[in-house]
Structure formats: structure tokens, C-alpha cells
Structure 1
Amino acid sequence: MSATERAIASAEAHSAHNYHPLPIVVASADGAWMTDIEGRRFLDMLAGYSAINFGHGNQRLIDAAKAQLERVTLTSRAFHHDRFADFCTQLAELCGMEMVLPMNTGAEAVETAVKTARKWGYQVKGVPPGQAKIVVAANNFHGRTTTIISFSTDAEARADFGPYTPGFEIVPYGDLTALEHAVSANTVAVLLEPIQGEAGVLVPPPGYLAGVRELTRERNVLFIADEIQSGLGRTGRTFACEHEGVVPDMYILGKALGGGVVPVSAVVSSSEVLGVYRPGEHGSTFGGNPLACAVALEVIAMLRSGEFQQRATELGDHLHHELGLLVGGGSVDAVRGRGLWAGIDIAPSRGTGREVSEKLMDRGVLVKDTHGSTIRIAPPLVISKEDLDWGLDQLRAVLAGE
């Protein structure tokens, strides 16, 4: 039995089987490359579902973390610390907002957004107690907590975890008419991913996000954009909403905000919205801790340069041009995405998404499947064009049956 096989067997024996990872055991990583415990190198074309936008072991982020590790890592929110104000101020400025509520994981931030919208609805909009409604989109993925799966349409995420949290209405993604009909006097928010990642990198029809913005403004409803995967440079803009010139009432951020170093998430909004909280009504022991703030501050500084958004635009244009050439040849049914982010629907004759992912792994490229026939490509934004082209060459070879 190889070292990889032994490690996987041990993991399977002693950890819950809530994931089905590819059979690789990573030992180290740098930039866009990972090395397994047997010394084999793999091109990372997933980037931790956008958590590693700035590459593995980014020196600026590692240096920021090391410097903070030597000072203080956790105070809890029982006390102020010297990185917190700068983090909140600079993240609010990056978003064009006023206030920040920091958490740790994306799911925690989504839960925070749900609580915030409901409280705003009762205190500011005047919705009757217990009647607040939030409209969401079918095929969404916002996390896997009990409340979040209550408005999921994914049977794998939802089945056998009830009873479910009420207060949500699901409409088709990209359908403004259905959304308009669903919004009522008791609707406090519309919660959407500007691009649906887990669903297969689904980009909404042109004008959809602008239409959502107009409708929510007219009806006095919060527009909440879950930019946990799509935000912070992935699509070629700081936020995916910017592609339609839209600014929501609230951003939900995570993944890349921690630079692949520590978990950091946040809800960012106006003082009118986040100002509804009073001490004791919401919190997190680790949310906004000094180490998280130090790393996130460096992420914000890197995004301000525009370098990573530009790379995602230029390399993304190249990626989608090359992938587009595969459509119609019998191996790829469709390609979607924006920036350095793509969903590729594999023709059934070429295998399932899982099978293609495993064949790519055998050729040194790491991607991940979703919903049976789709694979996702989302490399670190630091990837070189040469490495990206090499990865695409491996995809072509797999699709050609080589």
C-alpha cells in the first residue's frame, strides 16, 4: 500500500464521510501548484473554491500572518484590539459601505445576513413580528447550516435534516417576473449569488442584477449579494455585481478575504442596516480576531492595486476563448463563467464530471465536479498564462480520450 493509500484509508476510517475528495494527499503548496506526500506536483485549478485567489503561500499574506502571530492572535470581542478598527474601516471603504460585522466562515456570514435582514425588517421597515420573508433563488448554495439548507433545492444538502426553518420563498434564478411576484409587503430581503458557483458557475441573463436592484429599491427590500465565491477579484472586478454597475444593500464576503491563511468572513452594509444591532444580540468569539484582521487587511491592500482584477480579466478572456472552442465538438456541451471562473458541462459520452476530474488528476491537474456532469475551473489569480495553457492542454487530452 502506498503512502497515499495509507493516508486515505486512515482518513476514511476516522473522519465522517461528508466529503468525497479526489484521491490525493497534499503535503505542500506554492502559488498555483500543490505537491502531494509522494512528491508529485499538481496544478491547482480550483483554488479552494476561490479561497486561495492570491495563491498558496502568498508571501505578503504569510508575512502579515507571521508578524501578527508574534503579537496577539485572539482577544475575543470582549475587548478592542489594534487591528479591528482599520479592518472594518478599510473593508467598508472597499465595498463602498459604512459598517462591517465580521465572522469566520461563509455560512456564518450568511446566517448573520439573514438575522440582520429580519431585524431590519421588524425595526426599520415595520414588518409584523414573526412575518419577515426572504426571497432566494433555486439552485442556490449559501452554506450548509440548518437554516441555510432550509431554502436549498439541492436534495443532497437538504434531505433528512428537517424540520426546516420557515420564512423563505424560492424563485427561479434569473427570472425577474417570478421575483416581482414573490416580493410582498412582508419581504425584507432578496438574497442572491451574482453568479451561482456550486450550481455550475451559472451567470444570470444580462440586466438581471440591475433589475433586482431596481425592484428591491422600489419595494423597500434589501438586496443581499452573496459574493463569498464570486467576490474579491475572481470575475475580473472586485465584486461580480460591478459587471452590471450594481451596488447591493449588503455584501456577504468570505473565502478569499482570509487569503487562504485563516477563515475570515464579513457582512458589509450601511449604518441604517447594521445599526440595528445592540450588544448581546449577535456575536462570535473568533470573529474579527487580530490574526484574521491582519491577514484581511493585506488582502484589501492587494485588491486596491487592481492587479488581481486585471489578471482575472485578461487570463479569463483567454480561458473562455479556449474553452469556447471545445463546445460543439462532442466532448463539451456548454461553458459558462466570467473572469477566471468557468463551469464546463461534459458530454455524457466523455464520462461524468467526477471521472473527468480523476483523469485530470492523473495528468497533474486538480479540478472538482458538481451536479454530475459539470467540472469547475477556478485557478488562483496568480497563475501564469503558461501554466493555464498547460492545464487546458491536459483537459483537451482527457476529452480526446488520450
Structure 2
Amino acid sequence: MNSIVDSRTPSAVADAERWTAHNYHPLPVVISEAQGAWVTDIDGRRFLDFLSGYSALNFGHRHPKLIAAAHAQLDRLTLTSRAFIHDQFAEFCHRLADLTGQELVLPMNTGAEAVETAIKVARKWGYQVKGVPDGQAKIIVAADNFHGRTTTIISFSTDDDARADFGPYTPGFQIVPYGDLTALADAVDDFTVAVLLEPIQGEAGVLVPPDGYLRGVRELCDRRNVLFLADEIQSGLGRTGMTFAVDHEGVRPDMHIMGKALGGGIVPVSAVAASREVLGVLKPGEHGSTFGGNPLSCAVAIEVIKLLETGEFQRRSAELGGLLHEQLRALIGRGVTAVRGRGLWAGVDIDPSIMSGREASEKLMARGMLAKDTHGVTVRLAPPLVIEEDEIRWAVRQLAEVIGAA
């Protein structure tokens, strides 16, 4: 079964290409099983997952506690819609509010839905609380951002692949350079209702802002009566070595935007959390989702929050992330030009004279390691937080051998 001749993978890849829209360019691997940090393809070959579903799988594939919670809930109740209250809803919202240090929670499904929620709430807050004239609200965002791919969100993207040919675009946004406090301060005016940022930019290549930047954003927002919206969809829930990436600077945003790992890799779960003053502007009928906060999602997310409440996964990310970054930095000048990131999250720039990020990812796949490229030369590394030290060392060895640094 493992010979190239007998492999089922090429035909399965071809079938996927034939019957699906080509909005992704996946690696040619067809996964059929997974557990922990490892996945198995249809031909029985095992791969170490160093992408974790873009941080949706922070707790690994099929974490026993999360699977048990899902099974138990499947036997009881899966959906009521928000027309009724179910018995998992209050606990989920309460635990998530406590985890974020906020007062209220609004659950949705996908990360993009959570960002759309944040945008709508910020605008309504601007009109009803700050007193911005109707239709004049402005939200400041950062260049090279990635907040999703809805029509409104791509309206303030600087990525041509995400934006081109999808206009007309939604107005009301101003783009400034990421990490530049002076540019941000200059952009804020009386019509500004919010600053929307990723504390670490994931899709851009795991870009970490300068020290003090997030504190400066917080101080600026306080001074100008502007909401700080932190998109922690990829960076949050243990990925960077703390519960949220903003925690590294001791900052609490006006709104936490969460998704991906909140669903434990089982169901799509997203949410925003904010104060009563902010989320309290919404009234029945103004925003919602049939599946948002459904019983199955809440049951799984409650167990996700319980895992985070122990602090174990944040510690693992910090400690093992230190090892990962130490080993990756040793490759700089030997086929790697830069390494960025925090915790178990890294962007590794491959020397373009050697190969592209895509080529590196394909060669890593051939060696039994799954990672994904972005922006040409960068390979993103984000292993599950359940990964072991020896697996990290093995993975970095594979990268070293691929780029000729071994």
C-alpha cells in the first residue's frame, strides 16, 4: 500500500481538484485519521501536524476530553436556535467571560463572523455611546492584516489575492502600518470608533509587533475614547504561551475576538467578549446566528475553557516554544533568513535563492511533516500544544535537512 504505484493518494487528490472550487491550494496529502499531534493518510502514512488547522487544533486532534464532551452532548441535544435557551449556554458564556475578564459574551460560529460582529458592535457603540454622527464611524486597521474573507473584511485587506475583483468595497476603514504607533495616533480622529488589530499577525507570516506597541494602542484608545478590538482567533487560547497574545503586555482590549481553537477542532465556535457598556448596545433582532452558541458547540467549548483554566497548555506552549525558537534561530544564515513568533508559533523565512515556502512545505511533507507556506518565502509552524520535545527536535531536523542546513 505504501508504494507509489499502489497509492490511493494521487487519484483522491485528483478527485478533490475535479469536484471542488479552487479557492485553496492544499498540499497533496489526503488525511483519513488523526490523534494528538499526528495524522494518517489514506495509504497509512503518518505525518506530524505542524499547522494545527491554523491554530484550530491547539489541543491536538481528537483530545479525549473534548471528544467525550461531544459524544455526551450528541446523545442529548444538538440545536435549539437562539429562539430558546439550552442548558449549556449560560455555563459557556460565564466561563468565557471569566477567561477573558469581560462581562458579556456573544457566540457565533466562524472567526469571520466574530470579526463581523465586532465591526457591527463597534459602529453601533460609536453612534449610541460615543456620539459619532450616523454613517460616519471609522475603524482603523493594520496593513497586511487577515481577519477573514467576507465582503466587508476584504474591503480593508491589503492582500490582492483576497481582495481583487470582489468590489465594490465596504467603506469606513483606514489602513495604517502594523506596529507603527505614530501612524495610528495620526489616523485617529473624532469619527474613529475602534482600532481592530491582530496582536500577532498570523497570515502575514507570524509578525510580532515591537515591544510596547499593544500597551501604546491601549493607552491611545483610552485617551481618544476608541475601542480596542483584539483579533485573537489565531493567536489566542494558549498558542503564544499565555491565554491571549495581549497578555504578554498586560493589556486587556475592549473586545476579545475568538474562534478556531475555541471549538477544539471538532465544531466551529467563535465569540466576542466585551463589557456590558459595549455589547449592551445590541437589542433583539439586530444581530444573531441560528447555529451560534448551539448546545454541541457550547459543550465542546466548555471543555476547551476548562483545559485552559488549568494553565497546563499555556505552560507547554511557553516552554516548548522556547525550544522551538531556539532551534529555529540556529538555522538563520543556513538557509533561513528570519524567524519570528511567540510560543508554539513561528514564521520561518526560507532563503529564496534556495527554494520557496511552498517547495519547502512539499519537501517537509515527503519527510512526514505537515506545514504550510504563506507570502512566498515563509513557512508557518504551529504544532498542537500537546506536542512533545522529541517531536519538536525531529521536526526542526527535517527542516534543516530540507534546506541543506543539517
Determine if the TM-score, normalized by the shorter chain, exceeds 0.5.
yes
Q: Give runs of aligned pairs for residues 241-320 of structure 1, distance below 5 A.
A: 241-320=246-325
Name 1:167's counterpart in structure 2. 172
Q: For the residues of structure 2 that align with 1:209 and 1:75, how far apart are their CA atoms? A: 39
Unaligned runs of 5+ in 1: none
Please give the secondary structure, in 2, of the residue aligned with 1:116. helix
- Counterpart check, 1:141 vs 2:146: yes
Please give the secondary structure, in 2, of the residue aligned with 1:348. coil
Q: For the residues of structure 1 that align with 2:45 and 2:361, how far apart are their CA atoms? A: 17
Name 1:342's counterpart in structure 2. 346
Deviations 1:226-284 (A, max 9, x none): 00000000000000000001000000000000000100000100000000011000000
- The correspondence for 1:215, drawn from 220, 226, 230, is 220
Name 2:70's counterpart in structure 1. 65
Deviations 1:17-63 (A, max 9, x none): 00000000000000000000000000000000000000001000000
Contact 2:331 2:405 in 1 (8 A): no
Unaligned runs of 5+ in 2: none
Q: For the residues of structure 2 that align with 1:3 and 1:162, how far apart are their CA atoms? A: 41
Name 1:51's counterpart in structure 2. 56
The alignment covers a number of residue pairs equal to: 401
- Counterpart check, 1:387 vs 2:383: no
The CA deviation at 1:106 is 0.1
Q: For the residues of structure 2 that align with 1:401 and 1:311, how far apart are their CA atoms? A: 27
Structure 1 counterpart of 2:315, one-letter code? Q
Name 2:183's counterpart in structure 1. 178
Q: For the residues of structure 1 that align with 2:205 and 2:91, how far apart are their CA atoms? A: 36
Deviations 1:264-305 (A, max 9, x none): 000100000000011000000000000000000000000000
Please give the secondary structure, in 2, of the residue aligned with 1:349. coil
The CA deviation at 1:5 is 1.0
Deviations 1:129-185 (A, max 9, x none): 000000000000000000000000000000000000000000000000000000010
- The correspondence for 1:193, drawn from 189, 198, 202, is 198
> Which TM-score applies when normalising by structure 2?
0.98
Deviations 1:95-129 (A, max 9, x none): 00000000000000000000000000000000000
> Which TM-score applies when normalising by structure 1?
0.99
- The correspondence for 1:95, drawn from 80, 97, 100, is 100
Q: For the residues of structure 1 that align with 2:226 and 2:299, how far apart are their CA atoms? A: 34
Q: For the residues of structure 2 that align with 1:390 and 1:345, how far apart are their CA atoms? A: 19
- The correspondence for 1:18, drawn from 11, 23, 32, is 23
Deviations 1:381-402 (A, max 9, x none): 0001111111111111101178
The CA deviation at 1:349 is 2.1
Name 1:360's counterpart in structure 2. 364
- The correspondence for 1:37, drawn from 42, 56, 59, is 42
Deviations 1:66-119 (A, max 9, x none): 000000000000000000011101100000000000000000000000000000
Q: Percent identity?
A: 72
Over aligned residue pairs, what C-alpha RMSD do you find? 0.8
